[in-house]
């Protein structure tokens, strides 16, 4: 992103889920002092550390690192963001009640939601938050996902047939690892064999059209499982050669 004097709101994903590109949570130099920064953190929240003072809205749904289901969103708001929401709500702009941030803020201060969420989602979210906090908090979760993703990136770079899709290590996600394979590897067949043997959810993003695997290394993923996955991929590749 490039800061301009005419921009009052900057919106960006902390972690781009389809490709595995990560963006730092930070304010742009040169941005207007009244500008707000909004961070879409759905696949990053709970698995990547960040400085909350560097953004005004940090929002996400809990179906990734928090191990719950979608269907509900959560957000951390700065006072300036809450003030902006109040100002817009008090203008003549039409906002449906279920899309009103002011309503969501008001309800949250009462420990309520406008619509009834699935209680199973809240239960799973609560259990995951308690587990992360008991284990060492967000810094612990950040270290865990970095370690698990490193297993895959190191494997790809040493494999001779694969490489990280994101070439710049500083931009590689630690929670969604996308690996590009040489044209001599049929990843469709590789995925089919893995799935037939109970190893699922390593498909690339359907809109990319690339010869890839995409693997989640969320905080709930054990590093030992990631290491086992690389061994399984090695075995299948050898058998398919």
What residues pair up with 11 in beta bridges, in sequence order? 38
Please spell the DSSP secondary structure of 127-176, one letter per residue: HHHHHHHHHTHHHHHHHHHHHHHHHHHHHHHHHSSEEESS-SGGGB-SSE
Looking at the fold, whether 149 and 92 belong to one and the same domain comes out as no
Q: What span, in angstroms and rounded, lies between the C-alpha atoms of 8 and 73?
A: 23
Please, are residues 212 and 165 in contact by the beta-carbon 8 Å criterion?
yes
Query: Can you give the pTM of this predicted structure?
Result: 0.93
Tens of pLDDT along 194-208?
999 999 999 999 878
pLDDT recorded at residue 209: 80
pLDDT recorded at residue 82: 98
Last residue of a domain, one of 103, 118, 135: 135
Q: What span, in angstroms and rounded, lies between the C-alpha atoms of 200 and 228?
A: 13
In a domain, 153, yes or no: yes
Last residue of a domain, one of 82, 100, 135: 135
Tens of pLDDT along 213-232?
999 999 999 999 999 999 99
Instruction: Report the domain count for the chain.
Output: 2
Strands 162-164 and 212-216: unpaired
């Amino acid at each position: 992103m490039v800061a301009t004097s005419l921009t009052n709101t900057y919106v960006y994903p902390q972690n781009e889920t389809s490709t595995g590109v990560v963006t730092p949570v930070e304010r742009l130099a040169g941005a207007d002092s009244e500008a707000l920064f909004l961070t879409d953190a759905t696949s990053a929240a709970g698995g990547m550390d960040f400085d909350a003072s560097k953004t005004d809205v940090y929002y996400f749904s809990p179906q990734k690192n928090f191990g719950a289901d979608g269907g509900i969103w959560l957000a951390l708001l700065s006072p300036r963001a809450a003030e902006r929401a109040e100002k817009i709500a008090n203008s003549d702009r039409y906002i449906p009640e279920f899309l009103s941030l002011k309503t969501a803020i008001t309800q949250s201060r009462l420990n309520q939601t406008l619509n009834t969420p699935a209680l199973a989602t809240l239960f799973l979210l609560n259990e995951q938050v308690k587990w992360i906090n008991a284990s060492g908090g967000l810094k612990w979760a950040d270290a865990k996902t970095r370690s698990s993703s490193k297993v895959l990136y190191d494997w790809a770079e040493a494999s001779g047939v694969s490489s990280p899709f994101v070439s710049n290590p500083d931009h590689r996600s630690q929670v969604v690892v996308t690996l590009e394979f040489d044209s001599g590897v049929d990843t469709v067949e590789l995925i089919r064999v893995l799935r037939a043997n109970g190893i699922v959810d390593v498909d690339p993003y359907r809109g990319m059209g690339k010869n890839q695997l995409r693997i989640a290394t969320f905080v709930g993923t054990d590093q030992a499982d990631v290491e086992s996955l690389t061994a399984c991929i090695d075995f299948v590749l050898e058998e398919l050669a």
